[in-house]
Chain A
Amino acid sequence: MPNGASLIKKAAIEVRDLCRSFGGIPALKGLSLAVKEGEIFTVLGANGSGKSTLIRILSTVLLPDSGRVMVLGHDVVRQAGEVRRIVTRVSVDPTLDRQLSPRENLAWLAPLYRQKPAAVIERCWPMLRRFGLKESDFHRPVRYLSAGSRQKVAIVRALISSPAVLVLDEPTTGLDPVSRQEVHLFVRAINRTAGVTILLATNDLAQAEELSDRIAIIKDGKIVLSGTVAELLELGPGARNMKEVFFRVAGYVPSKGDMVRPEGFLSGVA
Chain B
Amino acid sequence: MNTPFKSPLQEIWKGRAFVLRNFYMLQRDFSWFLTMLGDSFCESATFILIGVMFNDSMAILFLALGVVNWSFFSALFSEIAYTVSQERRDGVLEETLALPISRLSHLLGVTVFAWLKALLHAGVIALGLKLFAGLDLSGANLAGVALTMLLGSLSVIGLGLIVAAFPLVSAERGEQAQYTLQRFLVLISAVFYPVSVLPEFLQRLALLSPITHAMNASRQLMGIGVHGSRPGALMGQSLLSVGPELGLMLSIGLLSIPVGLGLFSAAEYWAKKTGRLKRTG
Q: Complex Cα distance A162/B91, Å? A: 24
- Chain A residues, Cβ within 8 Å of B3: 85, 114
Q: Counting CB contacts under 8 A, is A68 at the interface? A: no
Flag whether A124 is at the interface (Cβ < 8 A): no
CB of A63 within 8 A of CB of B14, answer no
Whether the pair A22, B275 counts as a contact (CB closer than 8 A) is yes
Instruction: Report whether B98 and A111 are in contact in the complex, using a CB–CB cutoff of 8 Å.
Output: no
Chain B 26-40 residues near chain A, CB threshold 8 A: 28-29
Contacts of A173 in B (CB 8 A): none
State in angstroms the CA–CA spacing of A85 and B102 once bound together. Answer: 11
Residue of A nearest to B29 (CB): A99
A108 adjacent to B92 (CB under 8 Å): no
Shortest CB distance A146–B (Å): 17
Chain A residues whose C-beta falls within 8 Å of the C-beta of B92 in the assembled complex: 95-97
Name the one of B28, B99, B275, B277 contacting A112, with C-beta atoms under 8 angstroms: B99
Residues in B with CB closer than 8 Å to A161 are 2, 100
A163: CB under 8 A from chain B?
A: yes
Residues of chain A within 8 A (CB-CB) of B275 are 22, 62
Question: Would A162 and B1 be within 8 Å (CB), given that A95-B94, A97-B90, A111-B16 are in contact?
Answer: yes
Report the nearest B residue to A196, measured CB to CB: B1
Contact present for B98 and A108 (CB under 8 Å): no
Distance between Cα atoms of A127 and B89 in the complex (Å): 30
Please tell me the size bucket of the interface on B.
Answer: 20 to 34
Interface membership of A229, Cβ < 8 A: no
Contact (Cβ within 8 A) B5 A111: no
Chain A CB within 8 A of B21 CB: yes
Q: Are A109 and B17 within 8 A (Cβ)?
A: yes
Q: When chains A and B are docked, how far (Å) is the Cα of A100 from the Cα of B95?
A: 15
Query: Which parts of B84-104 form the interface with A (CB within 8 Å)?
Result: 90-92, 94-95, 97-102
Is B24's CB under 8 angstroms from A108's CB? yes
- Alpha-carbon distance A163/B18, docked complex (angstroms): 21
Residue B173 lies at the interface, judged by CB distance under 8 Å to chain A: no
Q: Are B94 and A108 neighbours in the complex by a CB distance under 8 Å?
A: no
Which of B18, B21, B90 has the most CB atoms of chain A within a 10 A radius of its CB?
Answer: B21
Q: Which stretch, A42-50, A86-94, A128-136, touches the partner chain B? A: A86-94
Flag whether A56 is at the interface (Cβ < 8 A).
yes
Known A-B contacts A96-B92, A162-B2; the reply to A84 vs B99 at CB < 8 A is: yes
A-B pairs with beta carbons under 8 Å apart, 5 shown: A84-B99, A85-B3, A89-B95, A98-B90, A99-B29
The 10 closest A-B pairs by CB, nearest first: A108-B21, A111-B17, A95-B95, A84-B100, A85-B100, A104-B24, A61-B94, A108-B20, A164-B1, A161-B2
**Residues of B in contact with A (beta carbons under 8 Å apart):** 1-5, 10, 13-14, 16-18, 20-21, 24-25, 28-29, 90-92, 94-95, 97-102, 269, 272-273, 275, 277-278
**Which of A's residues lie within 8 Å of B, judged by CB?**
22, 56, 59-63, 81-82, 84-86, 89, 91, 93, 95-100, 104, 107-114, 117, 141, 161-164
